[in-house]
Structure 1
Amino acid sequence: MMSDMTKLSIPDIPFSIIAETPSYLVVAKPAGMPAVPLKTGGKGETLLDAVADLYPDVRSVQGRNEWEGGVVHRLDTLTSGLTVIARTDEAWWALQAQQTAGLFAKTYAAWSFGRQDDEMFPPGFPSEIVYYVTKDGLFLRSSFRPWGVGARAVRPVCEDATGHGASKATDTIYETTIVSHEKGPGKLNTFHVQIYRGFRHQIRCHLAWYGFPLVGDSLYGGEPNDRLGLFAEKVEFEDPYAHERVVYTLGSMFFT
């Protein structure tokens, strides 16, 4: 039977345009809305479609994949919060270059009740957690490989790993920084984490590896909830037109 603590309320964030500039938009994505259409799916009820209804230019941006339009960084369907969408080809490539160079910062709030039972912890994770600590926080570090039926999930791969798993790992090493960790009522843990170069499910996987699968994240061993406990609360980058460092924040005011 689930404990009362699994009833953490994570409110829905409505779709809205947070900021508008000549070269990009900052948008709040609701949980449950895909960021972009499937490659073969055409148009649909996605964030890109909703934004393109208001700003048609975002669909004509020619980035890495034509069906993704000007979306600079995708949020998982279950994740809510801020994302950036370019309005021009030049802005898209400039913002991608910042991500590659580690200059595009994304901060998330995340909630976990911790690992409830070691036997329920998903298999395939390295037996030792790779991290280091500085004055800026605790850094989880790995590459990733696909995992499970249909490669629906990912698993961390350590830099010194060998064998079959290592051969399927990404060439890039990804870091997730735990900037702060607060313990709340009962077993609730609140994290604020930051990434510069993101990979699919990176935060979800890294926090599960650390022993804190997210609330509502059954794919990585989290306790059931009607929403995923992950919220993109801040983005920071250089405006590709004004060439000034900008910060956009939703903050945790939506959460109680």
Structure 2
Amino acid sequence: MHPHAVINIIYKNPKILVCYKESGLPTAPLKNSTNDNLVSQVSIEYPEIMGVKGFQAWEGGLLHRLDTPTSGLVLFALAQDTFDYLIYQQKNDMIIKEYRAKSKGAKELLPGFPPFIYDECSSIISGFRNYGPKGASVRPVLPSDNQKVYKTEVIREGDDSFICTITQGFRHQIRCHMAWAGYPLIGDEKYGGFEGEFGLEAIGLTFKDPVSRKVISIKI
């Protein structure tokens, strides 16, 4: 059992569960892997999540993933109708996800990035492409008419701290966008960051309750 096996529940109602994932714990298994992960831990206490037909059979009611080194808030649906309604919100940019990113600037300029075309702290918009051996990382692709794009809103919070807000997300989106802007995350050597504790935490979720239709805003 993973040392973080005690589930940290931040919010719960009869239809929804929000948990805090520790850094180093995978959000979900890779296919039918037996490695410890947040979904497996949650399903022990809340087996109903596995009755939800989600993105993958082994993910159940999981609405979104965090990268393994990223800590923070993860949203689960406890019933199928809840999952379907939250997916509708997610596809229509109605679920807002807020992150705190920490950076000490770029250790080196990595290859594969196009010229940065935005203000330092602004809306960063791009498509993405897989990059490197086995596509282990991604690189931004400048927006075009025939490609899906993803947006990261960035506000500087302090000398080394930024608040990043997204709706729909792509793998490594914030990590890649911050590196593109010249601020790779602390601890994110894959994108050129300085050594240290991994500098990304999911700190906020905003969405509509599937029953009351009232806005729920959870921040830590």
Structure 2: gaps (5+ residues) = none
Q: How many Å separate the matches in 2 of 1:64 and 1:112? A: 32
Corresponding residue number in structure 2 for 1:233: 203
Give 1:145 shift. 0.5
Q: Deviations over 1:33-86 (max 9, x none)?
A: 000011141x43100011111111012210121111111010000000101011
8 Å Cα contact 2:207/2:216 also seen in 1: yes
Whether 1:82 aligns to 2:77 is no
TM-aligned CA deviation for residue 25 of structure 1: 0.1
Residue 215 of structure 1 pairs with residue 186 of structure 2:
yes
Alignment partner of 1:99 out of 90, 109, 117: 90
Distance 1:36 1:201 in 2: 16
User: Counterpart in 2 of 1:33?
Assistant: 25
> If each structure's helix is expressed as a fraction of its own residues, which one has the higher value?
1
In the other structure, the counterpart of 2:177 is 206
Is residue 2:157 matched to residue 1:178?
no
Q: 2: distance between equivalents of 1:123 and 1:214? A: 17
Q: Distance in 2 between matches of 1:97 and 1:80?
A: 25
- Is the contact between residue 32 and residue 79 of structure 1 (CA under 8 Å) also seen in structure 2? yes
Task: Using the aligned pairs only, state the percent identity.
Answer: 38
CA distance in 2, matches of 1:210, 1:180: 12
Give the Å deviation of 1:89.
Answer: 1.3
Render the CA deviation track for 1:123-150: whole Å, top value 9, x for unaligned. 10002x23369xxx71000000001111
Contact 2:7-2:42 at 8 Å conserved across structures: no
2:103 maps to which residue?
112
Q: What secondary structure does 1:68 align onto?
A: coil
C-alpha displacement of 1:181: 3.6
Once the two structures are TM-superposed, the CA of residue 115 in structure 1 deviates from its matched residue by 1.2
Is the radius of gyration larger for structure 1 or structure 2? 1
Given residue 14 of structure 2, which amino acid in structure 1 is its aligned partner? P
Give the root-mean-square deviation of aligned CA atoms. Answer: 1.9
Deviations 1:192-249 (A, max 9, x none): 1100111110000000000000000000000112x31000001000011221100111
1:70 and 2:61 are equivalent in the alignment: yes
Amino acid at match of 1:65: Q
Task: Summarize the Cα distance change of 1:121–1:132 in structure 2 as closer, same or farther, 3 Å threshold.
Answer: closer
Correspondence 1:131 to 2:115: no
Q: Secondary structure at the match of 2:18?
A: strand
Task: Kindly indicate whether the alpha-carbon contact (under 8 Å) linking 1:176 and 1:193 is maintained by their aligned counterparts in 2.
Answer: yes
- CA shift, 1:24, in A, is 1.2
Q: Which runs of 5+ in 1 are unaligned?
A: 1-11, 162-169, 184-188, 251-256
Aligned length: 216
